[in-house]
Amino acid sequence: MTTLTADEARALFPDEVVTTARTRLVTVPGLTGQVALITLDNGHDHTRPSTFGPQSLVSLGAAFDEAAAASPVAIAVTGKPFVFAVGADLTAVENASSREQALAIGRLGHDVFRKFTDSEVPTFAFVNGAVLGGGLELALSCHYRTFASNAAAIALPEVFLGLFPGWGGTQLLPNLIGAHDAVTVIFENALNQNRMLKPAQALGLGIADVLFDSADYLEQSLRWLASVVRGEVTPARREIDRGEAWDAAVARARAIVEGRTKGAAPGALKALELLELARHNDLDAGYAAETEALADVVMSDELRAGLYSFNLVQKRAKRPVGAPDRSLARKVTKVGVVGAGLMASQMALLFARRLEVPVVLTDVDQARVDKGVGYVHGEVDKLLGKGRVSPDQANRLKALVTGSLDKAAFADADFVIEAVFEDLDVKKKVFAEVEEFVSPEAVLATNTSSLSITDMAADLKHPERVVGFHFFNPVAVMPLLEVVRAARTDDATLATAFAVGKQLKKSCVLVKDAPAFVVNRLLTRFMGEVVKSIDEGTPFEVADRATEPLGLPMSPLVLLQLVGPPVALHVAETMHGAFPDRFAVSENMKAFVAAGKKAVWQWDAAGKQTVDPEVQELWRFGDRPLTGEQVRARALEALAEEIRLMLDEGVVAEAQDIDLCMVLGAGWPFWLGGITPYLDRSGIAEKVTGKRFLPPGVASLPA
């Protein structure tokens, strides 16, 4: 018995996009009976994948009952073209207004999926396309699984969202493939920027029993089903070690969770408990525990914040607020890159791969140009070695990227981006030189991280075609692109920038030309407060660990090492020039950079972290040390003040854009919902600014 009827599900969640499950009987050669084939379809094409809300689960349960009543020799479930199912309907989860509703959703999923597990006739999942979360849990609930060799996305991403696999995943997967590999899928991949499995990996792990090509995937799957039903094929199953190997896997999962979330993500902590419970392979106890844990997490602010982040990334990022009409964008048939250093070379490779147009690099001497082009060609060879591109694709990419000392090579370029030294006069000179060769319509983009784009364009003949195009490092990995509108940037230029950003597969946010834009401005303010506390006498260890309760991807001083102290100092100086009352320049940081030091921390062969003695010696400490709690409070209060000022200045349209930037550009955890929901929930926003950043109930439980 399911816990909700169709009418009850409809009444509770009337806005659900229903995935309908339809049953038909199929005759398969070599079988004396028929196969009941259930197809999942939400009535949309592959751009809107099928999900499971309460009504969809009720439909699937009814379809199974109909299939079982037909006395088939087997029951199989598959999806619409290119999509099996991508998990729970998150709007239903988000709209659950009580623990009882959350419990009902958990029980309903378990009850329906378990029909496939407990079936007296064999059940098969024909995973014909994308399969995520609850979709993969449905497949795991079946006795056997075939996968299409071109399935685009395979994962259990729940821990990434602040949740956990709550419809059987924590219990079924480790008992199918072993606890060690289950930890990779549930924890490691999810917390590593939501890494997906490829079909071949799913086969190697034992999640898939067999792969078939997409051209005749269903026919091959049915033939394979028949061979299993006839007893001719018996898929291999692992012998599961529930002793020391399981202990080691749990310890590994705990280390991953602690390292990536610092214990701040309740979904990951629940997943740990459930992994330990799965050792007993008792579905009654395991599913009951999953349901209770699911209700706990669903009714937490952290999950609401995670779903808020998910909606920002999946919806707001795809429809950038304030972007001009796409029809104004000009076509880009050639790209110029001024500079051939690491950042410029990364950009050249990305433009060539995504736009598939000629890209030419320039620099001040031939050696630098050759090094930049050589870097791109070397990275293409690495892609070829990993099978990411074919030999023909590799040759084409190499041919697209060339170098020249003469900026006349940009004459037919439609989009030229500079990535030279972060100095306003240098950048102005570069643009003046480029403008002599390019057409009046060619876009001139700058990758500056903090300088005024309006000032950069001021002396040009056509300042209206200058735009900020701020990437984050590493260019190929970081998804955010800050598109910056200067005072005279016109709509056609801006539309072209957004169109190019989309082709590059980046999430673009429109930003006003203000010092350091969004991410660097906030990180500089945040880091400045931490460094200030050290200057005043707080030990390095105390200050650096102060932010651990937030679960940030790295501590402030490790971030300093990643960014590079000279870059961080330069941005701090730029911000001090703009806002001297809020952004200080540490004399200790100046000495640190002057000494050529790259990091505060050093690590020995055993991984033990200590302060570099030379750094300890050169730093001049005050006599007013703070506690970790005081450091954290100071840094967060500074962020609240800065965000309110940025919103008042119109740096972005809304607080949601700041959160989107921090999630995608700074790795701010999903379960915090960016930064403004956290500042709202903790009361810091109201304490510092007198009001919340978001309306009540947004990114938190309804008031």
Task: Find the CATH number of the domain harbouring 401.
Answer: 3.40.50.720
CA distances from 675 to 65, 640, 658 (A): 46, 9, 8
The answer on 155 and 283 residing in a single domain is yes
Q: Are residues 293 and 236 in the same domain?
A: yes
Residues 537 and 468 in one domain: no
Q: Which of 77, 219, 59, 63 is nearest to 145 (CA)?
A: 77
Q: For the chain, how far is it from start to end, CA to CA, in angstroms? A: 33
Count CA atoms within 13 Å of residue 327 on its CB side: 0
Residue 435 lies in a domain: yes
- Could you tell me whether strands 83-85 and 130-132 are parallel, antiparallel, or unpaired per DSSP bridges? parallel
Looking at residue 703, what is its pLDDT? 57
Angle in degrees, CA 64, 236, 27, rounded to 5? 40
**pLDDT tier at 554 (50, 70, 90 boundaries)?**
confident
CATH number for 184:
3.90.226.10
On the question of pLDDT at 45 being above 70, the answer is yes
d(CA 135, CA 365): 55
- Domain region containing 573: 519-631
**Confidence (pTM):** 0.87
Query: What pLDDT does 306 receive?
Result: 86
CA–CA gap between residue 539 and residue 528 (Å, rounded): 15
Q: What CATH number is associated with residue 586?
A: 1.10.1040.50
Domain stop point among 512, 531, 557: 512
45 and 67, same structural domain? yes
The arithmetic mean of pLDDT across residues 83-99, rounded, is: 85
Domain end among 631, 660, 677: 631
Domain match, 402 and 293 both: no
pLDDT of res. 3: 61
Query: Residue 1 above 70 pLDDT?
Result: no
Do residues 627 and 505 share a domain?
A: no
What would the two tokens of residue 42 be?
A: 């939400």
Does the residue 645 lie in any domain?
no
Would you say residue 652 lies in a domain? no
Work out the average pLDDT over 33-51. 93
Same domain, 102 and 242: yes
Same domain, 461 and 563: no
Task: Please tell me whether residues 523 and 598 are part of one structural domain.
Answer: yes
Amino acid at 222: L
What does each C-alpha distance from 323 to 339, 388, 466, 483, 648 come to in angstroms?
Answer: 28, 33, 16, 9, 20
Residue 639 placed within a domain: no
**374 and 277 in one domain?**
no
Two tokens at 264? 């701040």
What's the pLDDT tens digit per position in 93-140? 777 778 888 899 999 999 999 999 999 999 999 999 999 999 999 999
Residue 138 lies in a domain: yes
DSSP code of 337?
A: E
In a 3-state reduction of DSSP, which class is residue 389? Answer: coil
Is residue 27 situated within a structural domain?
yes
pLDDT for 689 beyond 70: yes
Position 169 pLDDT exceeds 50: yes
